[in-house]
Amino acid sequence: MDFMEVVRNRRSVRKFWPEEVVWPDIEEILDAAHLAPSAKNLQPWKFIIVRNEKRRRLLAQASGQEFIGEAPVIVVACATGKGGFIGRYMESWPIDVAIAMDHLTLAAWNKNLGTCWIGDFDENKIKEICSIPEEIRVVALTPLGYPVKNPQPTPRRPLEKVVSQETYS
Ligand SMILES: Cc1cc2nc3c(=O)[nH]c(=O)nc-3n(C[C@H](O)[C@H](O)[C@H](O)COP(=O)(O)O)c2cc1C
């Protein structure tokens, strides 16, 4: 797909076919994720691929969002490298993992696979379900699978409202 076509047509998908996603496709999507830029090139990420149905259901419960358990795959995106900073005060790990996740969602869409950023979950429960060590942070989850249908586009603020020239206005 053309890059802008992928960006324009991507949607958050919340209904999936149970059809399996083959490993080479998952691998290509993860490849796109791990090629993302990161502050000082620290690459503070780890992606856990969950395909086991029981574990998927537990992750869905821990996020209170049952639909994610219906997808054949859930990706749990973790931050491994706390301590990196952008400037003096802004920690870089959530930003780095978010950029990698965006690569992942776009690469998935390019293969006709849907995702949905899940930011609302009980982190301690997710850690328990996936045996994630205490010092590691869970940044996001996403289901991954073939969309039942393409959701309608969600609105965006007009470009002229979010861009200004030279100074903030
Ligand atoms: C940081 C972040 C957290 C989000 N958390 C959730 C979530 O917990 N559950 C959910 O269904 N969607 C979640 N979303 C998806 C947004 O609702 C969605 O991206 C937004 O409405 C725009 O729709 P679109 O992705 O289809 O363009 C989240 C998105 C982001 C970027």
Identify the CATH number of the domain in which residue 115 sits: 3.40.109.10
Task: Render each residue's pLDDT in the chain as its tens digit; 169 residues.
Answer: 899 999 999 999 999 999 999 999 999 999 999 999 999 999 999 999 999 999 999 999 999 999 999 999 999 999 997 777 777 778 999 999 999 999 999 999 999 999 999 999 999 999 999 999 999 999 999 999 999 988 999 999 999 999 999 999 9
Instruction: Let me know if residue 54 belongs to a domain.
Output: yes
CA distances from 60 to 30, 89, 133, 138, 141 (A): 21, 34, 20, 14, 10
Instruction: Let me know if residue 164 belongs to a domain.
Output: no
Q: How many domains does the chain have?
A: 1
Instruction: Let me know if residue 131 belongs to a domain.
Output: yes
Instruction: Let me know if residue 117 belongs to a domain.
Output: yes
Best residue among 6, 7, 12 to mutate for probing ligand 1's pocket (most ligand atoms within 8 Å of CB) is 12
Instruction: Let me know if residue 76 belongs to a domain.
Output: yes
* Cα of 117 from ligand 1 centre, angstroms: 5
Residue 96: CB atoms within 10 Å: 25
Structure tokens given for 149: 């249908």
Residue 118 domain boundaries: 44-147
Best residue among 16, 117, 120, 152 to mutate for probing ligand 1's pocket (most ligand atoms within 8 Å of CB) is 117
- How many Cα atoms within 13 Å fall on the side-chain side of residue 76? 28
